[in-house]
Structure 1
Amino acid sequence: MSRVFVTGMGIISAIGDTVAKNREALINKQCGIAGLTLFHTKYTGLRPCGEIKVETHELKNKLRAHEKGITRSSLLALHAFKEAIADATLSANQLSSRHTALIGASTVGGMCLTDELYNDANKSENGSEYLSSYDCASVDLYLQSRYSMSGVINTINTACSSSSNAIMYGARLLKNGLAKRVIAGGTDSLAKFTINGFNALHILSPEKCTPFDRDRKGLNLGEAAAFLVLEKEEDIAGKKIYAELTGYGNSNDAFHPSSLSDKGDGPFLCMQKALQKAQLPASAISFINAHGTATENNDAVESQAMIRLFGTPPPFASTKANTGHTLGAAGAVEAVFGVLNLYYQEIYPGLHFSNAIEATGLKPETIYRQGSLQHVMSNSFGFGGNCTSLIFSKI
């Protein structure tokens, strides 16, 4: 089967609206988590978030996207998509080719416009312009229409592992000859639906989150979009190549609707499967971009799973203290960061860490440094125990 390479990337997050700006922010330990300013909930000022400080109407104007019912989730996706395809120098003919697949991910989709839809339903007999935008698939249907795409189009929603699964699915399409190139990633915007929902679970921190810290108080939600262009080895002559996608694994421990099992069966199995796919020993992993949500359950369980698999884990950190937890976009955002680790041979520091979890003693990287990195693992664990690990390797 063909080898799969990353030939283009695009991203927008709370720490930057390009890949270059995100990298600069990671190097300089910048945190994009702050108070909400662009929309109001009863938790405004109480629950900091990784909000992209650009008004929705500004995004519409910048992207020339004024279609009825278009959502912030779709606008963020369009922004990252445009950067990724430009970076990979994909032509209009290539985008519209049946050999080009789009695999997107989202958990919020058009639900960010729930209030607008509800208001319209109560005042308009003709329905709402937001109705067709309400489900998760609306984002990829919009991109498909805008770029006249005719290849495989799919949307994945497996909670916080969604866009990692989109990347994995895209790689499998390439390896099985069902596409020549895949644009894979995800998007999620902040919404009252998710802020209120996560707050009801009592896992939102009233402060900036502290992944893997003994005194962690929960996660900060964020919004973002990221896409990676994946291409087969035989189709990349003369192109810039960031990294090779060598391993991926998915598991589902089905332990609890929103928690991982104490032994970390799901995280352990997906990391193990990714290593097996890449035909690598655990000792070959140079760095782990951990899921690291800063919740009591996740960080303890992920730590236990890393110890169970690696013995002494390799250097690791979580970038969710920079961007917030971007839900369906998180896997793609952190895949971009993992590829940057390899391409520039650098480790980005985790933020806000003070004390190790007593049961494990593990400490994330807290200082930016150059490294000799060969293989980087990126972890994404979703509600329901749906866990995915990706492995990117240096060219």
Structure 2
Amino acid sequence: MSIRVVVTGMGIISAIGENLSENYENLRHSRSGISQATHFESVYTASLPFGEVKKSNEDLKQDLHLESEPGFTRTCLLAVNAFKEAIKQAGLSNEELSALDTALISASTVGGMCLTDQLYQDANNHSEGSEYLSAYGCAAHTLKLIDRFKIKGFTNTINTACSSSANAIMLGARLIKSGRANRVIVGGVDSLAKYTVNGFNALKILSAFPSKPFDQDRDGLNLGEAAAYLVLESEEIAGDKKIYAEIAGYGNANDAHHPSAMSDEATGAITSMLEALKSANISADQIDYVNAHGTGTPNNDQVEFFGLTKIFKKLPAYNSTKSYTGHTLGAAGAVEAVFSILSILHSEIFAGLNVDKPISGDDPAISEFRQNVSVNHVLSNSFGFGGNCTSLVLSKYRS
């Protein structure tokens, strides 16, 4: 009999909230977190909007009782914040966290390079060696989680650009389905960094205004920061816990087209969506909502929309929640999985913001808040640089 993978806990911190409850309230009231950054230091903060978490590093350290702990970058702090909420929701004990059948799969693209200037100083021997020497790697935040929560089972860190944490969810579900783990904490984190802001600016894909996913006048994305984690457990060991949703399906593909653009034929996107539907054993017409990758760039939205028209005879409700948080890179897949599960739980579809002139008049992105709608299956897309495309099917749990 096939093992079912269920979600028993979720934690998140983003530009629209410090926890799950705050994120949900701002989603249902269509409140965006895109604004001028106050904690991130860059020459671009005066001219570009960002999806910045509202708390400073000092406040985060105080909240987490980490004032005296060295080497915690902003990436690490955001990760610990969301991780703690997820395991608390799932009611995991210290013994369960340390059990060998509990795994941790995290994801990040920036990692400790959020300290771009300090990294430069350390790397060029302009310092005597800061407390962050061991924190610059992609996996540094994962190692902090392992140490702080005494995790002894299988661990890994994934960096496949913007599909990173979607792939963490997929790998976690596969570990459970194959019997290699009974419980996997999955998710990802990224914080704002000069490294990524300067890089995306060089690609000329940052917008000077709040992004407009699936709008004819879209002109780029807003970068954001966030962390989100989900506790996945086999249905058997979840017992009588509250179950938020089921990880029903997943697909991953690569169109191998270009380092930073998707192919016009949407090869990877179409394949990942079809594989996700196949592994969930459902047909396309059973999808009630698509949480699209929807970055707000001319290339991504046109290609993703084209791909959706090839999958669905009639497009289901779709939009992008990046208009709330900005593009959170390695955290995006987990953030949007959490948002998709909130849609399932509350039978609601959150409004896509800033859609004034839809990319398609016949099938516009959902731009108003919808309540009391049937949301049984959600397709969540995460498409990364290098053509790495991942799609997840998240479903309402029925025992």
Same fold (TM over 0.5): yes
Write the deviation string for residues 81-114 of structure 1: whole angstroms up to 9, x where unpaired: 0000000000011001111100000000000112
Which residue is equivalent to 2:392? Answer: 390
Q: Contact conserved, 2:258 with 2:387, CA < 8 A, in 1?
A: yes
SS at match of 1:178: coil
Instruction: Give the 5 Å matches for 1:120-269.
Output: 120-121=122-123, 126-269=128-271
Q: Contact conserved, 2:216 with 2:359, CA < 8 A, in 1?
A: yes
Give, as a single letter, the amino acid of the residue that structure 2 aligns with 1:330.
Answer: A
Distance (whole Å) between structure 1 residues aligned to residue 69 and residue 252 of structure 2: 37
Distance (whole Å) between structure 1 residues aligned to residue 41 and residue 242 of structure 2: 43
Distance (whole Å) between structure 2 residues aligned to residue 42 and residue 128 of structure 1: 24
Q: Contact conserved, 2:40 with 2:192, CA < 8 A, in 1?
A: no
Distance (whole Å) between structure 2 residues aligned to residue 361 and residue 298 of structure 1: 19
Q: Contact conserved, 1:50 with 1:324, CA < 8 A, in 2?
A: yes
Write the deviation string for residues 47-85 of structure 1: whole angstroms up to 9, x where unpaired: 100001111111111101232121100100000000000
Give, as a single letter, the amino acid of the residue that structure 1 aligns with 2:214.
Answer: F
Distance (whole Å) between structure 2 residues aligned to residue 378 and residue 302 of structure 1: 12
Unaligned runs of 5+ residues in structure 1 are: none
Distance (whole Å) between structure 2 residues aligned to residue 124 and residue 211 of structure 1: 42
Write the deviation string for residues 147-182 of structure 1: whole angstroms up to 9, x where unpaired: 111001100000000000000000011011111100
Distance (whole Å) between structure 1 residues aligned to residue 119 and residue 192 of structure 2: 16
Which residue is equivalent to 1:11? Answer: 12
Which residue is equivalent to 1:273? Answer: 275
SS at match of 1:170: helix
Write the deviation string for residues 272-294 of structure 1: whole angstroms up to 9, x where unpaired: 00000001110000000000000
Distance (whole Å) between structure 2 residues aligned to residue 271 and residue 242 of structure 1: 22
Instruction: Give the 5 Å matches for 1:1-395.
Output: 1-65=2-66, 66-121=68-123, 126-357=128-359, 361-370=362-371, 371-395=373-397
Distance (whole Å) between structure 1 residues aligned to residue 383 and residue 313 of structure 2: 21
Distance (whole Å) between structure 1 residues aligned to residue 98 and residue 350 of structure 2: 37
SS at match of 1:347: coil
Write the deviation string for residues 32-51 of structure 1: whole angstroms up to 9, x where unpaired: 00112113211111110000
Q: Contact conserved, 1:303 with 1:362, CA < 8 A, in 2?
A: no
SS at match of 2:251: strand
Give, as a single letter, the amino acid of the residue that structure 1 aligns with 2:396.
Answer: K
Q: Contact conserved, 1:121 with 1:128, CA < 8 A, in 2?
A: no
Write the deviation string for residues 183-202 of structure 1: whole angstroms up to 9, x where unpaired: 00000000111111100000
Distance (whole Å) between structure 2 residues aligned to residue 103 and residue 122 of structure 1: 32
Give, as a single letter, the amino acid of the residue that structure 2 aligns with 1:230.
Answer: L
- Once the two structures are TM-superposed, the CA of residue 126 in structure 1 deviates from its matched residue by 4.3
- Once the two structures are TM-superposed, the CA of residue 308 in structure 1 deviates from its matched residue by 0.6
TM-score, normalised by the number of residues in structure 2 = 0.97
Give, as a single letter, the amino acid of the residue that structure 1 aligns with 2:54.
Answer: K
Distance (whole Å) between structure 2 residues aligned to residue 261 and residue 312 of structure 1: 23
SS at match of 1:357: coil
Q: Contact conserved, 1:204 with 1:220, CA < 8 A, in 2?
A: yes
Q: Contact conserved, 1:100 with 1:152, CA < 8 A, in 2?
A: yes
Q: Contact conserved, 2:260 with 2:386, CA < 8 A, in 1?
A: yes
- Once the two structures are TM-superposed, the CA of residue 389 in structure 1 deviates from its matched residue by 0.5
Distance (whole Å) between structure 1 residues aligned to residue 218 and residue 236 of structure 2: 47
SS at match of 2:187: strand
Distance (whole Å) between structure 1 residues aligned to residue 204 and residue 187 of structure 2: 28
User: How many residue pairs align between the two structures?
Assistant: 394
SS at match of 2:134: helix
TM-score, normalised by the number of residues in structure 1 = 0.98
Q: Contact conserved, 1:334 with 1:378, CA < 8 A, in 2?
A: yes
Q: Contact conserved, 1:212 with 1:357, CA < 8 A, in 2?
A: yes
- Once the two structures are TM-superposed, the CA of residue 215 in structure 1 deviates from its matched residue by 0.3
Distance change >3 Å, CA 384–CA 361, structure 1 → 2: farther
SS at match of 2:358: coil
- Once the two structures are TM-superposed, the CA of residue 326 in structure 1 deviates from its matched residue by 0.2
Distance (whole Å) between structure 2 residues aligned to residue 353 and residue 231 of structure 1: 37
Distance (whole Å) between structure 1 residues aligned to residue 107 and residue 305 of structure 2: 26
- Once the two structures are TM-superposed, the CA of residue 128 in structure 1 deviates from its matched residue by 2.6
Distance (whole Å) between structure 1 residues aligned to residue 348 and residue 187 of structure 2: 23
Q: Contact conserved, 1:6 with 1:241, CA < 8 A, in 2?
A: yes
Distance (whole Å) between structure 1 residues aligned to residue 8 and residue 166 of structure 2: 17
Write the deviation string for residues 357-392 of structure 1: whole angstroms up to 9, x where unpaired: 25x853111111121111011100000110000001
Write the deviation string for residues 240-263 of structure 1: whole angstroms up to 9, x where unpaired: 001111110000011000000001
SS at match of 1:154: strand
Unaligned runs of 5+ residues in structure 2 are: none
Distance (whole Å) between structure 1 residues aligned to residue 122 and residue 152 of structure 2: 33
